[in-house]
A and B are shown apart, each in its own frame.
Chain A
Amino acid sequence: MDVPPRATHPYIPNASPPAREAMLAEIGAGSVEDFLVSIPQHLRMDGPLALPAPLRSEAELSAHMEELLARNTAVRPGRSFLGHGCYRHHVPAVVDEVVNRSEFLTAYAGEPYEDHGRFQALWEYQSLMAELLDTEVVNVPTYDGFQAAATALRMAGRYTGRRRLVLAGDIPADRLSRIHDYVQDAYELVRVPASPDAVRAELAAGDVAAVYTAVPDASGRIEPCAPELVTLAHECGALAVVDVNPLSLGVLAPPASYGADLTCGDLQPLGLHPSFGGNHAGFIGSLDDERLVAEYPSRLFGLVPTGVDGEYGFGDVAYERTSFARREEGNEWVGTAAALHGIAAGVYLALMGPHGMREIGQTILANTAYAQQRIAEVPGIALPDPEAVHFADFTVVYQGERTAAQIAASLLERGIHGGTPVNERASRYCVTEVHTKADIDDLATALEELVK
């Protein structure tokens, strides 16, 4: 019996034998091998790749993926208290509708004309974000908040020509790791507590390019002395770099309002799903100071007139800064990063408006305070900093015999994804606007039973 010819793969139309032969004939080539002659035989594979058998039909592929996805648990919103850099907030349906459109999803690097919509949406993102940050410049998003912090610090280094970077306060370890990897060749990192005296001492030692602090810090704490640190930095000619959670800025002051030169952070809270930590994007904002703008490595889109009255055109501002224009002579580098997340954040801010941003900030601050108080009432649990204001994240200390990991495991048995252990005796919890009072009370009740 004849073997039926294999169907052409749907992703490769010209794999069909008639198409292939007709094209070869038109070119005057005998086979595809004619085009591969430059690849020497001794560099060729001598057999096929050792890969699993393909799942050529969409049905088989979907079944396979379902099998894998079934081993993941999607947690109901109010039952997860995990945060610490990746947050579960409500994502408005309109945000998903916009960013899932083919036209946005599959556009790339066209000119400002045939891709006008992409340019306008990103310029609007820059502009909306600038209102939130109280800055006049915001970049096209970089990879993530880690990169934004690391780049902001290098910008400060280039701007001042100095070599020491003072990091004040409790900075998430992973972010610190990334910053270190990124600046180690040219800068010295100095870590100090978020205290004016400690920062003053390091500034006195000289050569400080920037004072960096995070509001909120690694444990969600709003550091009251942040404005003072900014002032201290300026007194010594250093720049002040402040890392923020943008979702807090409807209520909390944007760092630029107390003088920060560079504001940076991660866009994930603004309309991006957690996706196992896969949806991050970084922002940097500043005043429109020509010298500072010259240090951005990222693309900055600008609004210009076109040849037709009433038309908005867009293009790259000061393109010569970038590695696209000047290779290694540009600032750091620029490449494909996280543009669509910028568009998502823009849609999110447009939907929320000034009132929505104020209200969500108030709700999260209230939920956080309530959760801290409720949990602190649990015997055997203490808050390390009960007087501090927290946004979303907070740390609790277990004073009983059971370890943080054991308590997390027990909570999980009850369907609650509890705090992330930070050490044997402490965990980090997170609440957002998706948690109800009942959700928080359930957690507290569970902890009362588990923490002994």
Chain B
Amino acid sequence: MTRAVNGDATGVGTPDVAQARVAAKPATRRFHQARWDEKLIFELDAPGERGVLVPAPDPDVAAAAGDLAERLPSALLRRTPPGLPEIGQQRVLRHYLRLSQENLGADLNVDVGQGTCTMKYSPKVNDTFVRDPRIAQLHPAQDGNTTQGVLEIIYRLERLLAEISGMDRVSLQPAAGSAAIWANVSMIRACLAARGESGTRDEVITTSFSHPSNAACAKTAGFRVITLPPDADGYPDIEALRAAVGPRTAALLITNPEDTGIYNPRIDEFVRLVHDAGGLCSYDQANANGLLGITRARDAGFDLCHFNLHKTFSTPHMCGGPAAGASAVTAELAPYLPRPTVEFDGTRYRLDDDRPESIGKTRPFYGVVPNLVRAYAWIMALGADGLREVAETAVLNNNYLVHKVLGIHGVSLPYAEGQPRLEQARYSWRQLNEETGVHTGDLGLRMADFGTHYWTSHHPYVVPEPMTLEPTESYSRADLDEYAAILAEVAREAYDDPDTVRTSPHRAPVHRNREGSLDDPHAWAVTWRGYRRKVLGETSQDGT
């Protein structure tokens, strides 16, 4: 016997049942983020409380150590204890869990708004491998026979990424994407030195829409930097490249697609121009998510490339790292890879530190191993077909979102009008700004009141009033619809109720900063003690 439900004539319309009915959800979420109004950890100080206890040395051991003050000069001994707070264990836990709730992690929001960041789902099962003591408790100096599993994971991941990029060798030592750019720049420097061209080739060419670290790493490594602007279609202008290359050209560092999501179809011509001039070409594959299994760095002629494992290969973003980078090179550049490499002789994996031409270490030990394990497991769960499906779906999702977003009044998609994008798109709110005075930054903050957010662009803003969205393969159609609906609602508010947008967020953990002091050396407060001295006007307890 079934009970009457919706549509059953015996149920609908009778007063009791009608009252029991929950009304439909509104079109946009009535979200409110946690607002714990939490104090600073220092304000939780309760002298006498302890968070954890430490094993005391055995009395015999303590006796053996003797009196430290007799063995070290007094200047080397701490005179006053560090001004750390004293807080019971559960109070510490509660404080940090409250702070954790005051974040929009990718596991909680439809995180398509952090364009260029490739905020894809980071599978939970991969975290379990990383937390396993057979990874977490491994020491890097353990005898190789007790670490064959992790060495095999690193070795296999290198082979997978070599196939995905088309390159010959890969180092997984770089700590992050920018660290991999650095490693590549350093390898370029070493290769030029080996060719006897250290002094003569000192110019690195990059583009406006490539990540700023390309320009910054090249500069830090001692190169001059030449930046190419986009042409009307949004590609870096090949005529500008022609005017820039020459006998001083050391390398081209370029992203493709750039952060506009526009793929430069003449990328192999760019590479050829630079090669013909005697330079090397390095491909920043931060935006590779729409290319997996479709086209590879090697196919366009590049000598080096790098991946961000925390973007394309799913490792979590962790509030801004630890991330992981992979530097991939042709056989010609392989001698310069960071040392050690992982080698396999058919039966045993080992670390090879005997690499005389190597640029040396870029990171302690062998890289961000937990993220290497996660990336390996992610690729293994997908395989060749799966990776291609990732790329195609990321591109489909992006073009679907473009279609939805361009239906909103006040937004546009500069460059290559009407052309599809690959995995991300950089929009402009210029029209909305001109018509309402509301800036893109305001819109992004208002999104937080609906449980999501977006990022504008790197500086300088080449696209006015920018917004960069990258939906990745992880989000469903319903997710994308919801995101577009929130964006449309916020844009509507900019016209009808701009004050609400300009003063947002209203339902986030805190309200807008009064941030004048952040650029004032007399008032900025990087730490609690700085705040107490400069802002509260306290003098330090020990009188110094």
Contact = CB atoms under 8 A, between A and B. Distances in A.
Given A131-B84, A373-B64, A48 B149 contact: no
Contact of B98 (A19, A117, A363): A117
A136 B383 CA distance: 50
B134 interface: yes
A442 B509 CA distance: 54
B383 A127 contact: no
Interface in A288-333: 288, 290, 293, 300-308, 310-320, 323-328, 330, 332-333
A313 B145 CA distance: 51
A275 B526 contact: no
A381 to B, nearest CB: 16
A140 interface: yes
Nearest to B198: A185
Contact of B89 (A74, A136, A277, A351): A351
Given A74-B137, A108-B320, A356-B51, A350 B381 contact: no
Interface residues of B, number: 218
Interface string B377-415: 111111111111110110111111001000000000000
Contacts of B526: 123, 126, 130, 136-138, 288, 293, 300-302, 317
B236 interface: no
Interface string B122-149: 1101011111111111111111011111
B86 to A, nearest CB: 4
A9 B394 CA distance: 14
Contact of B138 (A72, A138, A303): A72
Given A12-B393, A254-B78, A363-B57, A108 B476 contact: no
Interface string B257-291: 00000111101100000000000000000000001
A53 B221 CA distance: 41
B295 interface: yes
A100 interface: yes
Contact of A274 (B62, B138, B178, B372): B138
B431 interface: no
Given A103-B107, A276-B135, A11 B384 contact: no
A354 interface: yes
B104 A389 contact: no
A145 B93 CA distance: 27
Interface string B20-61: 000000000000010001101110000001111111111011
Interface stretch (A55-63, A163-171, A190-198, A233-241): A55-63
A383 interface: no
A304 B68 CA distance: 42
6 contacts: A14-B476, A73-B134, A277-B366, A278-B368, A343-B319, A387-B71
Contacts of B359: 181
B448 interface: yes
B148 A121 contact: no
A334 B211 CA distance: 11
Contacts of A124: 40-42, 528
Contact of A107 (B106, B365, B397): B106
Interface string A420-452: 100000000000011011001000000000000
Interface in A87-125: 88, 92, 94, 96-98, 100-118, 120-124
B97 interface: yes
Contact of A333 (B95, B220, B317, B318): B220
Contacts of B49: 353
B317 A107 contact: yes
Given A80-B139, A174-B364, A308-B511, A109 B114 contact: yes
Given A19-B477, A74-B134, A185 B222 contact: yes
Max chain B C-beta neighbours (<10 A), residue from A53, A281, A332, A336:
A336
Nearest to A337: B321
B524 interface: yes
A146 B50 contact: no
Given A144-B364, A360-B54, A32 B103 contact: no
B50 A353 contact: yes
Given A50-B163, A313-B513, A341-B321, 14 more contacts: A14-B393, A22-B477, A44-B295, A45-B293, A56-B386, A69-B134, A117-B98, A224-B72, A280-B364, A326-B459, A353-B51, A355-B86, A417-B142, A433-B54
A10 to B, nearest CB: 8
Contacts of B370: 275, 278-279
Contacts of B41: 124, 127-128, 346, 350
B399 A29 contact: yes
In the A-B complex, the 5 residue pairs with the smallest Cβ-Cβ separation, listed nearest first, are: A277-B365, A54-B383, A278-B369, A185-B222, A351-B51
A113 B51 contact: no
Interface in A233-261: 249-254, 257-258
Interface string B506-544: 001111111111110100111111110111000000000
A132 B117 contact: no
Nearest to B535: A303
B321 A339 contact: yes
Interface in B411-428: 419-422
Most buried by A among B93, B292, B372, B390: B93
Contact of B149 (A71, A84, A146, A420): A71
A420 B365 CA distance: 14
A224 B38 CA distance: 43
A106 B360 CA distance: 32
Interface in A181-206: 181-182, 185-186
Contact of A339 (B85, B262, B320, B534): B320
A11 B381 contact: yes
User: Which of B87, B138, B379, B521 has the largest number of chain A CB atoms within 10 A?
Assistant: B138
Given A38-B265, A288-B526, A312 B510 contact: yes
Given A49-B163, A69-B135, A277 B78 contact: no
Nearest to A133: B82
A101 B100 contact: yes
Interface string B61-98: 11011101001110111110111111101001101111
